[in-house]
């Protein structure tokens, strides 16, 4: 077998992980999760989750990947025994499901981006903006742009770790940051900025107390989704590390970037929404498109700003999508000795097909996203922390210690965090997430089905 690829540089690994983390989760999901969770109250709970759960959980994945140098399925077969050996397959399933709708939504952004070069965003009332979203989000347009986006992902992944992913993220991640900072500065000058900031930044603690049952799974799901945790991305990326470096430092850097960018996005999106006078509470998947096109239609230079905004999101989505695909591709390469190009083509084709229903009816978006976020990612993360905390704690601390000059007792602190508090929070989030999802299946989805 040919030699397994590795990252060329440390920065390459960090940028790839940041590129994976920063994506539709930060820009499309985050604002509507904030809206659904009541603004700043959600933000607070989410930040707590990222710090307390996200950091130990990212280390769990890093340690598994670097220890085994294998894809998630192979890694767990290597380290585990009995039923633990099969956890990796869950990640492959999750990867397929996420990628199918992720590509469709990314396609919408791409379509809006191209719109800036042709018609522009001259939709002056909510009806028209909604109509535009309707025509873009389902039907032939959606299918076409889903195909274009998938093709871009396939090219990057097909080119491999160094020539494809590492090179691409070196350009994309700095571009995303620069563009978002520019947009946030512009947004600060808008009329709605101060109302937006107070909505976004002053938490109503009453909401947290009254609505913890919704906030908890929402914030947990968002934290995992945005950090690309719970489906083996960080296992896979860490498996390409050629040398032993300080994983906790890398983890902090990656989480810092992702969280900083999510917060920054709020400083871009909410001033636009408040200035256009739309309701930030409208918690639908199309909210960001509807309110932003309206804003871009009204403000001076809206067309250029729109092009920049939608283009930025499309780039961010691409750098995340390649990580999802890489998990599945690495599995075929490692376990079935496929060559990279064949593996990429097979996986890409299958995912494209799975995404087709989403391009035809938005109910499938809810069906897939709800399953991923409320259940699959949390379940994946839960199984991993149980495994590392209770089955291979010694190997895991040993691995974490490599590249850290003086681990001291922090290895034990980490293992105990992983063993009990994190497990508890995940179990509760998972239970609430399942309840929510069953509720969705028995109401919205059942209604849709009955109406067929
Ligand atoms: N973290 C990515 C985002 O925020 C999405 C993602 C989830 C990527 C899970 C990989 C795995 O858009």
Q: List, for residues 182-201, the tens digit of each pLDDT value.
A: 989 999 998 889 998 988 88
Any domain includes 277:
yes
The first and second tokens of residue 14, run together, are 């960090």
Give residues with Cβ within 8 angstroms of 141, minimum separation 6.
Answer: 111, 135
Per-residue pLDDT band at 153 (split at 50, 70, 90): very high
Any domain includes 169:
yes
Mean pLDDT, rounded, for 146-165: 93
Residue 20 has pLDDT above 90, yes or no: yes
24 CA distance to ligand 1 middle (Å): 7
- Say if ligand 1 is within 6 A of residue 231 CB: yes
Ligand 1 atom at minimum distance from 25 CA: 4
The 8-class DSSP code of residue 50 comes to I
On whether the CB atoms of residues 42 and 212 are closer than 8 A, the answer is no
Per-residue pLDDT band at 16 (split at 50, 70, 90): very high
Mean pLDDT, rounded, for 217-223: 84
Domain count, the chain: 1
The 8-class DSSP code of residue 282 comes to -
Per-residue model confidence (pLDDT) at position 393: 95
Mean pLDDT, rounded, for 92-117: 95
Any domain includes 2:
no
Length of the chain: 452
CA 312 – CA 309 distance, rounded (Å): 5
Which of 23, 257, 259 should be mutated for ligand 1, with most atoms under 8 A from CB? 23
Angle 421-440/410-419 helices, nearest 10 degrees? 30
Average pLDDT of the residues of the chain: 90
On whether the CB atoms of residues 321 and 63 are closer than 8 A, the answer is no
- Say if ligand 1 is within 6 A of residue 293 CB: no
Task: Provide the CATH number for the domain around residue 71.
Answer: 1.20.1740.10
422: domain range? 10-450
State the first-to-last Cα distance of the chain, in angstroms, to the nearest integer.
51
CA 173 – CA 109 distance, rounded (Å): 17
Any domain includes 47:
yes
Any domain includes 1:
no
Closest of 406, 407, 388, 384 to residue 396, by C-alpha: 388
- Say if ligand 1 is within 6 A of residue 236 CB: no
CA 170 – CA 420 distance, rounded (Å): 38
102 CA distance to ligand 1 middle (Å): 9
Residue 283 has pLDDT above 70, yes or no: no
Give residues with Cβ within 8 angstroms of 171, minimum separation 6.
Answer: none
The first and second tokens of residue 64, run together, are 């598994």
Residue 320 has pLDDT above 60, yes or no: yes
Q: DSSP characters for 392-442?
A: SHHHHHHHHHTT-S--TTHHHHHHHHHHTHHHHHHHHHHHHHHHHHHHHII
Residue 123 has pLDDT above 90, yes or no: no
Any domain includes 4:
no
- Between residues 122 and 349, the one the model is more confident about: 349
Residue 346 has pLDDT above 90, yes or no: yes
The first and second tokens of residue 444, run together, are 């919205």
Mean pLDDT, rounded, for 253-273: 92
Per-residue model confidence (pLDDT) at position 1: 46
> Over the stretch 366-385, which tens digit does the pLDDT of each residue have?
999 989 988 999 999 999 99
The first and second tokens of residue 451, run together, are 């109406």
Closest of 323, 360, 334 to residue 101, by C-alpha: 360
Per-residue model confidence (pLDDT) at position 248: 93
In three-state secondary structure terms, 327 is: helix
Per-residue model confidence (pLDDT) at position 6: 92
Residue 61 has pLDDT above 60, yes or no: yes
> Over the stretch 392-417, which tens digit does the pLDDT of each residue have?
999 999 999 998 888 888 899 999 99
- Say if ligand 1 is within 6 A of residue 233 CB: yes
* CA 322 to chain centroid: 12
- Say if ligand 1 is within 6 A of residue 320 CB: yes
Any domain includes 143:
yes
For the chain, the C-alpha Rg in angstroms (whole number) is: 21
Any domain includes 5:
no
> Over the stretch 308-319, which tens digit does the pLDDT of each residue have?
999 999 999 999
Per-residue model confidence (pLDDT) at position 263: 92
Ligand 1 atom at minimum distance from 95 CA: 11
Which of 30, 102, 225 should be mutated for ligand 1, with most atoms under 8 A from CB? 225
Per-residue model confidence (pLDDT) at position 128: 85
Mean pLDDT, rounded, for 91-108: 96
The first and second tokens of residue 370, run together, are 């709800």
Which of 16, 20, 319 should be mutated for ligand 1, with most atoms under 8 A from CB? 20
Ligand 1 atom at minimum distance from 324 CA: 10
Give residues with Cβ within 8 angstroms of 426, minimum separation 6.
Answer: 53, 220, 378, 381, 382, 385
The first and second tokens of residue 193, run together, are 């900025």
Mean pLDDT, rounded, for 225-245: 92
């Amino acid at each position: 077998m040919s030699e397994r690829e590795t990252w060329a540089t440390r920065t390459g690994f960090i940028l790839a992980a940041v590129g994976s983390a920063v994506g539709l989760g930060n820009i499309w999901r985050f604002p509507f999760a904030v809206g659904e969770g009541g603004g700043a109250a959600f933000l607070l709970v989410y930040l707590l989750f990222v710090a307390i759960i996200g950091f130990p959980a990212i280390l769990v994945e890093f340690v598994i990947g670097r220890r085994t140098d294998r894809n998630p399925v192979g890694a767990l077969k290597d380290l585990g025994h009995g039923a633990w050996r099969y956890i990796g397959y869950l990640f492959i399933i999750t990867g397929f499901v996420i990628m199918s709708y992720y590509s469709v939504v990314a396609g919408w952004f791409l379509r809006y981006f191209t719109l800036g070069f042709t018609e522009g965003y001259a939709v002056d009332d909510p009806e028209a903006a909604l109509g535009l979203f309707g025509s873009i989000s389902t039907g032939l347009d959606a299918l076409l742009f889903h195909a274009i986006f998938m093709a871009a992902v396939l090219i990057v992944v097909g080119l491999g770790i160094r020539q494809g992913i590492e090179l691409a993220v070196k350009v994309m991640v700095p571009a995303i940051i620069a563009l978002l900072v520019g947009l946030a500065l512009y947004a600060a000058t808008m009329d709605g900025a101060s109302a937006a900031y107070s909505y976004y930044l002053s938490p109503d603690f009453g909401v947290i107390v009254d609505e913890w049952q919704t906030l908890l799974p929402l914030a947990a799901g968002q934290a995992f989704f945005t950090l690309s945790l719970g489906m083996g991305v960080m296992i896979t990326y860490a498996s390409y590390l050629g040398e032993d470096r300080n994983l906790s430092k890398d983890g902090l850097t990656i989480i810092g970037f992702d969280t900083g960018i999510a917060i920054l996005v709020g400083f871009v999106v909410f001033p636009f929404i408040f200035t256009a006078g739309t309701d930030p509470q409208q918690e639908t998947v199309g909210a960001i498109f509807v309110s932003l096109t309206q804003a871009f239609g009204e403000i001076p230079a809206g067309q250029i700003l729109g092009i920049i905004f939608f283009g930025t999101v499309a780039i961010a989505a691409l750098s995340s999508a390649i990580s999802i695909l890489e998990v599945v591709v690495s599995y075929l390469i490692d376990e079935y000795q496929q060559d990279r190009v064949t593996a990429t083509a097979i996986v890409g084709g299958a995912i494209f097909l799975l995404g087709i229903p989403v391009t035809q009816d938005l109910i499938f978006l809810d069906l897939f996203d709800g399953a991923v976020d409320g259940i699959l990612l949390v379940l994946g993360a839960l199984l991993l922390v149980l495994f590392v905390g209770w089955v291979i704690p010694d190997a895991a601390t040993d691995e974490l210690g490599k590249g850290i000059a003086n681990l001291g007792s922090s290895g034990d602190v980490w293992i105990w965090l992983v063993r009990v508090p994190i497990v508890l929070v995940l179990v509760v989030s998972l239970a609430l997430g399942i309840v929510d999802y069953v509720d969705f299946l028995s109401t919205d989805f059942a209604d849709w089905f009955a109406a067929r």
